[in-house]
Amino acid sequence: MSKPLVALLSGAGISTDSGIPDYRGPNGLWQRDPEAQKLVTYEYYMGDPEIRRRSWQMRRRNRTLQAQPNAAHQAVAELEKSGVPVRVITQNVDGLHQLAGMPDRKVLELHGTARRVVCTGCHASGPMEDALARVEAGEEDPPCLECGGILKSATVMFGERLDPEVLGEALAISKACQIFIAVGTSLQVQPAAALTGVAADHGARLVIVNAEPTPYDDRADEVIREPIGTALPELLRGFGG
């Protein structure tokens, strides 16, 4: 008998144990400092060199690239290694699912990745570490080495569209999966949140693991409020083997 396809939609809550703050939560950065939101808003970023300089300093201080996967990320990768078909759809940009051992092709990054930079002109791409090394060496707003264009993090900024190809793939997985687990996400940011409803509409067993209530709790087969670092590994052990 074939094993059920497990889709996992992960949000900021899965990475807080790795020391990465939740930007959108009640105590998140965007709530505390609306000015900080400008640093990740495409229009401001492209139009104001000062915003770009501050953005590079923010990235330099950011602990995302130093973060390590935690027990929840490890549990997802272990489930995939056990032979269960797993697909991760993540709203996170930290790359921790892949660092934990999930194959890159099985992780869909809806909001891009903070581990790479991309040129807004010629679309050349490279490691974030290389660009940050240039900032450390004194370049306040390092231009693209290929065309001299404006470099940005390969994340989806406010005011940018999600990659339609990635979103299309996420939609297909949500329709096809037998089990859909939403973990560490408020399920309030569209279009990611809507994937939860799509999965439920197509007959998936819906499990929500999140500290706070979500708009989809009433549609879930199971809602788990326990800490993600212990609750998710325990839940996924039940799907293994």
**Residues with catalytic function:** 111
Are the beta carbons of 207 and 122 closer than 8 angstroms?
Answer: no
Label residues 10-23 b or e (16+ Cβ within 10 Å = b). Answer: bbbbbbbbbebebe
Q: For 232, how many CA atoms within 13 A lie in the half-sphere containing its CB? A: 29
- For residues 73 and 77, what is the distance between their CA atoms, to the nearest angstrom? 6
Task: Say if strands 112-119 and 125-127 run parallel, antiparallel, or are unpaired.
Answer: antiparallel
